[in-house]
Amino acid sequence: MTNARGRTAWILFGLVPALFLVALLVGRYGIRLDETFRALFAPTSGGDVLRALIVRVRLPRALAAACIGANLAMTGAAFQGLFRNPLVDSRILGVSSGAAFGAALALLASAGTVGLQASSFAFALVAVGLVCLIGLRFGAAPLVLVVGGVLVSAFFNALLGLVKYVADPLSSLPSITYWLLGGLNDARWATIVPLLVLTAGGLVFFLAVRWRMNVLTLSEAEASALGVRVRRFRIAVIVVGTLLIAASVAVGGIIGWIGLVVPHVARAWVGPDHGRLIPVSLALGAATLLVLDTIARTALPSEIPLGILTGLVGVPAFFLLFLRFLRARGEAR
């Protein structure tokens, strides 16, 4: 009985490698499967251009898509549990607003890709740091953290507006606007190393503590009475989640909806137990972003910003889930 939910979820773990391979194959320049394998595993044979395309361009980009999708979805699921609120997403604590301001500032100063990433990452941490300072005064209570997140987000949005206002409307303003739409066109080996390292660490952490995260969905008194050090645990989840999101945004810009919708789909599939929810969310997030980024690269003659696609797909998906939820309640009453 208890295992009836999500018997089919294992399919997902085969799907992610398959979609990853598709992402390597499909593109403006079509590559056959055997050529791809030769380029990946027998680097001496085959053309240098092909090899460069796959190994230097598509491979890091597909890795970035998979990592960012996994991070957004996994952190979204974790934060929804931690805040005991299914409408929360991974940006609740102001990560994205801080990152957007940092990136805009770097673009204004023409700081280059590394500078942009560093600035975006740093300001994302500053934003969440401010929220945590507010929250810690009140024992890291979810309500205080959410209000802190709203305030800090609004503040950094105002600062972002200021940067846009003073930016050159012919050069830096368009690049700021474009960055804010999200996209993986800057994903190269050199730029994704911090993302890969942090993702690996975050995966280990979230997979290790995933069952215990169920206890965080109880009230603080209940969770403490079950022997869990609630505040310490909350802070650890927030710190790890923030690092993952900050690293993701620094590479991919603002990519919405994955962190909200994917955990809901996962929960509808395998139930709310974080023991299953976390792995299924991260795999589903990786799969979703691999598909969407492949579409972003190939659907139109010029690239579609990824944040637009996630919105176009995420909003109807969320609406359908919400309808399902309303119908289920209607039947229950």
Partner 1 sequence: MTHGTRLAAEGLTFAYGRGRDVLSEVTISIGEGDVLFVLGANGSGKTTLLDCLVGLRAPRAGRVLLDGEPIDRIPIGERAKRVGLVPQIHEPVFDYTVGEVVLMGRAPHLGLFARPGRRDWDAVDRALEVVGLRDLRGRVYTEISGGERQLALIARGLAQGAECLLMDEPAAHLDPRHQHEVFATVARLAGDGFSFVVTSHQPNSALLYADRVAFLVNGRIDAIGLPASVLTEKALQAAYGIEFDVISEGAGRRAILPRGTRG
Interface with partner 1 by CB under 8 A: which residues?
1-2, 4, 81, 84-86, 208-212, 214-215, 217-219, 221-222, 224-229, 267, 271-273, 275, 332
Residue 133 CB, nearest approach to partner 1 (Å): 20
Which of 66, 270 has the CB closer to partner 1?
270
Helix (H, G, I), strand (E, B) or coil at 92: coil
Which of 129, 271 has the CB closer to partner 1?
271
Residue 277 CB, nearest approach to partner 1 (Å): 9
SS3 content of the chain, % helix, strand, coil (to 5): 75, 0, 25
Q: Give the angle 300-305-308 at the CA atoms, nearest 5°.
A: 105
Which of 2, 44 has the CB closer to partner 1?
2
Q: What is the DSSP string of 128-173?
A: HHHHHHHHHTTTT-HHHHHHHHHHHHHHHHHHHHHHHHHS-TTTHH
Residue 216 CB, nearest approach to partner 1 (Å): 10
Which of 189, 211 has the CB closer to partner 1?
211
For residues 277-295, one letter each, b for 16 or more C-beta atoms within 10 angstroms of the residue's C-beta and e for the rest, the string is: bbbbbbbbbbbbbbbbbbe
Residue 171 CB, nearest approach to partner 1 (Å): 47
Residue 221 CB, nearest approach to partner 1 (Å): 6
51 Cβ partners below 8 Å, 6+ apart? 39, 43
- Residue 68 CA: distances (Å) to CA of 13, 59, 132, 289, 290: 17, 14, 23, 8, 9
Of 208, 159, 315, give the one whose Cα is nearest residue 307: 315
Which of 189, 322 has the CB closer to partner 1?
322
- Number of residues that make up the chain: 333
Which of 151, 239 has the CB closer to partner 1?
239
Residue 146 CB, nearest approach to partner 1 (Å): 14
Residue 236 CB, nearest approach to partner 1 (Å): 10
Which of 211, 322 has the CB closer to partner 1?
211
Contact between residue 97 and residue 160 where contact means Cβ atoms under 8 Å apart: yes
